[in-house]
């Protein structure tokens, strides 16, 4: 099933692995340009060699951005809703040339006071080509529910 899902279509425990992406120098430089974060460990290889990482690493928030974007390319995805926020931790560096993907699952679901909407919590892991979790956390989303079918004779 690759169609976008309503809240009602999700089941706690559903899991998905996203496509992967390889982190390039151009991507990290572009992120630095976009955000204005030119911290040397991200953009200066000579400096980065003197750090505990030993080489340039991607911005932590770039990893979160990749995780969010990769989820939109997954086979398991929801109709557009509203992001309610992230809880996210950086565990290991993301180095230039790393290939990452996201593994996520439906951790919990609940209805909301807003009619026609429900909330899903998606525990997620950003994983590199070595199988190491480099970042992890949760994404909270408000997703539309499946529209109720009209009963014949019921007022519109």
> Over the chain (156 residues), what is each successive 10-residue block's mean pLDDT?
85 98 98 98 97 97 97 94 97 98 98 95 98 98 89 63
User: What global pTM score does this model have?
Assistant: 0.91
Instruction: Find, among 29, 155, 133, 143, the residue nearest to 77 by Cα.
Output: 143
Question: Quick one: pLDDT at residue 86?
Answer: 97
Q: Which two tokens stand for residue 91?
A: 């565990």
| Domain regions of the chain by residue span | 7-144
Instruction: Find, among 138, 3, 152, 116, the residue nearest to 67 by Cα.
Output: 138
- CATH number at 7-144: 3.10.129.10
Question: Quick one: pLDDT at residue 151?
Answer: 64
Question: Quick one: pLDDT at residue 149?
Answer: 76
Question: Quick one: pLDDT at residue 76?
Answer: 95
Q: Which two tokens stand for residue 99?
A: 């290939």
Could you tell me which residues are beta bridge partners of residue 119? 110, 142
Angle at CA of residue 52, ends 70 and 50, nearest 5°: 115
Distance CA 121, CA 3 (A): 20
């Amino acid at each position: 099933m690759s169609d976008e899902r309503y809240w009602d279509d999700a089941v706690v425990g559903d899991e998905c692995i996203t496509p992967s992406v390889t982190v390039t120098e151009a991507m990290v430089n572009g992120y630095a340009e976009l955000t204005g974060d030119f911290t040397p460990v991200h953009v200066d290889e000579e400096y980065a060699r003197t750090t505990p990482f030993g080489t340039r690493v991607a911005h932590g928030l770039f990893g979160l951005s990749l995780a969010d974007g990769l989820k939109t390319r997954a086979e398991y995805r929801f109709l557009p809703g509203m992001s309610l926020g992230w809880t996210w931790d950086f565990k290991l560096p993301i180095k230039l040339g790393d290939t990452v993907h996201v593994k996520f699952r439906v951790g919990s679901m609940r209805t909301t006071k807003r009619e026609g909407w429900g909330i899903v919590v998606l525990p997620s892991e950003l994983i590199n080509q070595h199988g190491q979790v480099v970042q992890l956390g949760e994404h909270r989303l408000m997703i539309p529910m499946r529209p109720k079918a009209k009963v014949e004779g019921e007022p519109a």
